[in-house]
């Protein structure tokens, strides 16, 4: 008795501790959420002007009298509203707060944080602007009337958190009576994402959708929409058993029925969820936590598919489901479990495709296109940048990865075009997309300036390759065994950027490629320096270059076994067009072989530059890596090298020689920068250059116009030349971490051939970007050399 009593006390104590821990976690999350929503400006969204409004002239254009001009044009031609206003990229997220996820009927005011959050997701994942509108109307007719009046303002309507069955009537009526897309995300977003998950789950277990028996628990908006889309995908209506709080919905049932439930009433003797699950292949839960027990799963068919999507807690926890059925595929609505069925995979990209075609609605064809695009994307290789977003965890199509992750940037690039094409094919698009490559680039631009810049650079690479008869540049990689380099190469090969050559021990590199399942790299040449037929001639060439620098023949042979020296020599001897290294080494160690082999161009100096990408422009910073304290002549050379890069990208160079003063030419740094500016003017009178000038002045249109109207840098500089390495390196790294900009590089300038050294902390995406720029530079150098030989 005593022993049993102690055990009971221990058990009770453990339960209390567990409950206390859960409570503490919930309390902590609530505290953090309240702080998150209240810090700085309350809420999560703000309105930012997309046009300048800093001068009297700007004001006269933004408002009266200038604003009358677009008003008159739109009055004559209503379609011009898309050219002169934000309507084509503006969605209303609208709710009356009657069915807020996990909270119930909390009313429109309390639902506002959810609607603001939805707006954040629209912007983050698809570049769509949002106004959240909370309507104080429970009566469907009042609600409908209020929304109909908003059509002139918005390009689309996203209905949110409206209770069933009213939500069906509201959406159906608005779709009929409005000429812009109306989409109830609680219904269709869940249906689209779970539809993609179902397609892939059935593919994995080898079951045909037309043959599966499916149980839906819950008969609200999302349950009805999911069932409808499953039927569109091939599930037979007679094979679906829908359950609500009263049990199975069967033909002849009177209790708690409506016309939407009636559509799924089947002839069956089963009356409970437990009975319904007997012999079922799929369980789809859109109900309440704990609705399913492990015992209920035991009588499901082999390889059951269990979508327990109740939020915040699922119908059955995945651990319990798998303990009862180790052969099960399990998905939930939560991010802390595999296979999260998250609506963010759907609505941003779906609306993007609908807005870009000015569709009058989001129809079934468009929804199914989104389903299939998501399902197809999940079967593709998952890029490293997605893994890094999730703490380095790798993902591969299978039982624990049915659908893409929310932060997979490819979702927009796959789903939006699929939806847009479906809109055009089904006749609801009012604007056709003629150039899908250009549209892809446009979508990438929503994901940040670096995506847009690199995509334009990739397009240039492809154009140059085509002009060269399809011959790609050969880029050599000394770090052939680096996992980051190999993963980047997969994307480079897929994008047809270059012809890669790896340096390393062939057996080890091939083994690494196989272990990483990089099948597209299987035929890439791998060179072991000492075994290469040109090794002796490379040794002789290095000896010739360095014999008066303390390198004898034996030392040259030793150095040539170093992958960096060998790769540099390949570039020097025109056996490769460029090289990229440094992902596993310190910068000085990686750059030294390059400097000792690849010669510097005439009137050049080796220097490092970084590209700072803003939303609408880029700025070049130099010298960020090489010269500790360059003199005026060196600074002028660096500026001239930067100007050629800016010109290559179609911009007019505007060079600022930076200092701590504005136009003083005082002794020390200001004078050095003033002399450098004068030297640039002497060598290239056509260039815009000024200095000494402070950094804020150099990039501020307002400061130049108000205080220094004599300054040459009208509109702001796009090349910033720093007085020394300390200031430039600190600046670019600081901007990289805390600035609202994106930074590419560093890149080497001044060499006769293309070679770049990565930061050791670089990512797979960073390597990809550097190789694209290296290839572009190699093409430019090669073309210039060929042009010179023709003269």
Distance CA 306, CA 368 (A): 22
CA distance 299 to 787: 76
Burial (CB count <10 Å: 0-12, 13-18, 19+), residue 440:
middle
Instruction: Give the pair of three-digit tokens for residue 52.
Output: 């300048």
Residue owning tokens 């000038």: 693
Residue 469 CB: number of other CB atoms within 10 A? 6
CB atoms within 10 A of CB 626: 24
Token output for 385: 């940048």
CA distances from 431 to 201, 305, 360, 640 (A): 36, 40, 10, 45
Catalytic-role residue among 57, 63, 683, 714: 63
Of 704, 722, 724, 723, the closest CA to residue 713 belongs to 704
CA gap 379, 376 in Å, rounded: 5
Say if residues 691 and 658 touch (Cβ distance below 8 Å): yes
**CB 542, CB 556: distance < 8 Å:** yes
Under DSSP, is residue 680 helix (H, G, I), strand (E, B) or coil?
helix
| Nearest Cα residue to 281 out of 339, 327, 222, 218 | 327
For the CA atoms of 395, 399, 403, 407, what is the dihedral angle to 10 degrees? -30
> In sequence order, what are the residues at sequence separation of 6 or more whose Cβ sits closer than 8 angstroms to the Cβ of residue 407?
386, 389, 390
Tokens matching residue 765: 């995406």
User: Across the strands, what pairs with 757?
Assistant: 581
What is the 8-class DSSP label of residue 301?
P
Which 3 state secondary structure label does DSSP give 216? strand
Distance, CA of 374 to CA of 402 (rounded, Å): 10
What are the C-alpha distances in Å from 615 to residues 290, 409, 612, 741? 48, 18, 10, 8
Residue 697 CA to residue 662 CA, distance in Å, equals 8
* 412-428 burial code (b ≥16 CB/10 A, e <16): bbbbbbbbbbbbbeeeb
Sort 536 into a burial class: Cβ within 10 Å, 0-12 / 13-18 / 19+: exposed
Residue 753 phi, psi dihedral angles, 5° rounding: -125, 170
Q: Which of 87, 118, 484, 512 is catalytic?
A: 118
The DSSP result for 308-325, as a single string, is E--SSS-SS-HHHHHHH-
Tell me, yes or no, if 250 is annotated catalytic.
Answer: no
How far is residue 70's CA from residue 352's CA, in Å, rounded to a whole number?
25
Q: Burial-class residue 773 by CB neighbours within 10 Å (0-12, 13-18, 19+).
A: buried
Q: d(Cα 132, Cα 138) in Å, to the nearest integer?
A: 17
d(CA 505, CA 500): 16
Query: Is 320 considered catalytic here?
Result: no
Please tell me the distance from the alpha carbon of residue 47 to that of residue 603, in angstroms, as a whole number: 50
H/E stretch holding 543 reads: helix 535-546
- Report the catalytic residues: 63, 118
């Amino acid at each position: 008795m005593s022993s049993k009593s102690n055990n009971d006390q221990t058990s009770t104590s453990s339960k209390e501790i567990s409950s206390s821990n859960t409570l503490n976690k919930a309390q902590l999350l609530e505290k953090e959420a309240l702080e998150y929503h209240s810090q700085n400006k309350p809420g999560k969204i703000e309105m930012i002007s997309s046009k300048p409004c800093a001068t009297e002239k700007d004001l006269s254009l933004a408002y009266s009298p200038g604003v009358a001009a677009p008003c008159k044009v739109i009055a004559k031609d209503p379609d011009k509203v898309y050219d002169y206003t934000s309507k084509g990229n503006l969605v209303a997220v609208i709710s009356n707060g009657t069915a807020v996820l996990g909270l119930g009927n909390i009313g429109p005011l309390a639902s506002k944080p959810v609607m603001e959050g939805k707006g954040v997701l629209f912007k983050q994942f698809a570049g769509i602007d949002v106004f959240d509108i909370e309507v104080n109307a429970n009566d469907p007719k009042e609600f409908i009337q209020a929304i109909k009046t908003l059509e002139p303002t918005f390009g689309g309507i996203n209905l949110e958190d409206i209770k069933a069955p009213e939500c069906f009537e509201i959406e159906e009526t608005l779709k009929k009576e409005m000429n812009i897309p109306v989409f109830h995300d609680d219904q269709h977003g869940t249906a689209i994402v779970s539809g993609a998950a179902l397609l892939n789950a059935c593919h994995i277990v080898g079951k045909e959708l037309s043959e599966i028996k499916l149980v839906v628990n819950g008969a609200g908006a999302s349950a009805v929409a999911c069932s409808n889309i499953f039927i569109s995908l091939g599930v037979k209506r007679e094979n679906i058993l829908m359950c609500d709080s009263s049990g199975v919905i069967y033909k002849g049932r009177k209790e708690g029925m409506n016309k939407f439930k009636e559509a799924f009433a089947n002839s069956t003797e089963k009356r409970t969820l437990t009975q319904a699950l007997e012999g079922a292949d799929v369980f789809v839960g859109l109900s309440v936590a704990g609705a399913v027990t492990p015992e209920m799963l035991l009588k499901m068919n082999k390889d059951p598919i269990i979508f327990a999507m109740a939020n915040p807690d699922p119908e059955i926890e995945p651990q319990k489901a798998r303990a009862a059925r180790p052969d099960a595929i399990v998905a939930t609505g939560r991010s802390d479990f595999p296979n999260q069925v998250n609506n963010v995979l759907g609505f941003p990209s779906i609306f993007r495709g609908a807005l870009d075609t000015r569709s009058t609605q989001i129809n079934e064809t468009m929804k199914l296109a989104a389903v299939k695009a998501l399902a197809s994307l999940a079967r593709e290789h998952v890029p490293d940048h997605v893994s890094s977003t999730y703490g380095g965890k790798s993902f591969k199509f299978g039982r624990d990865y049915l659908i893409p992750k929310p932060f997979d940037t490819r979702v927009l690039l796959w789903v939006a075009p699929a939806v847009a094409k479906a809109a055009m094919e089904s006749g609801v698009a009012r604007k056709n997309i003629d150039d899908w490559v250009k549209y892809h680039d446009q979508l990438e631009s929503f994901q940040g300036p670096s995506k847009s810049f690199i995509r334009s650079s990739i397009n240039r690479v492809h154009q140059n390759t085509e002009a060269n008869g399809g011959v790609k540049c050969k880029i050599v990689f000394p770090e052939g065994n680096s996992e980051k380099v190999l993963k980047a190469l997969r994307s480079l090969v897929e994008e047809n950027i270059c012809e890669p050559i790896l340096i390393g021990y062939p057996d080890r590199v091939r083994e690494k490629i196989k272990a990483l399942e990089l099948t597209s790299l299987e035929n890439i040449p791998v060179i072991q320096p000492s075994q290469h037929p040109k090794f002796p001639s490379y040794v002789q060439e290095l000896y010739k270059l360095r014999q008066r620098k303390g390198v004898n023949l034996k030392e040259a042979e030793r150095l040539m076994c170093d992958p960096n020296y060998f790769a540099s020599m390949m570039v020097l001897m025109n056996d490769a067009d460029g090289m990229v290294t440094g992902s596993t080494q310190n910068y000085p160690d990686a750059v030294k072989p390059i400097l000792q082999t690849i010669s510097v161009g005439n009137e050049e100096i080796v220097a490092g530059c970084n590209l700072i990408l803003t939303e609408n422009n880029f700025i070049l910073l130099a010298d960020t890596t090489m010269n500790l304290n360059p003199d005026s002549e060196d600074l002028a050379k660096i500026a001239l090298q930067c100007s050629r890069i800016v010109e290559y990208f179609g911009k007019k160079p505007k060079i600022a020689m930076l200092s701590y003063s504005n136009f003083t030419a005082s002794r020390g740094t200001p004078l050095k920068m003033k002399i450098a500016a004068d030297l640039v003017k002497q060598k290239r009178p056509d260039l815009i250059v000024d200095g000494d000038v402070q950094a804020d002045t150099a990039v501020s249109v307002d400061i130049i116009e108000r205080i220094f109207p004599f300054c040459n840098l009208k509109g702001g500089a796009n090349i910033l030349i720093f007085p020394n390495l300390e200031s430039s390196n600190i600046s670019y790294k600081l901007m990289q971490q805390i600035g609202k900009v994106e930074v590419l590089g560093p890149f080497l300038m001044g060499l006769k051939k293309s070679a770049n050294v990565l930061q050791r902390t670089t990512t797979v995406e960073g390597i990809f970007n550097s190789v694209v720029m290296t290839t572009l530079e190699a093409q430019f150098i090669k073309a210039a050399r060929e042009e010179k030989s023709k003269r």
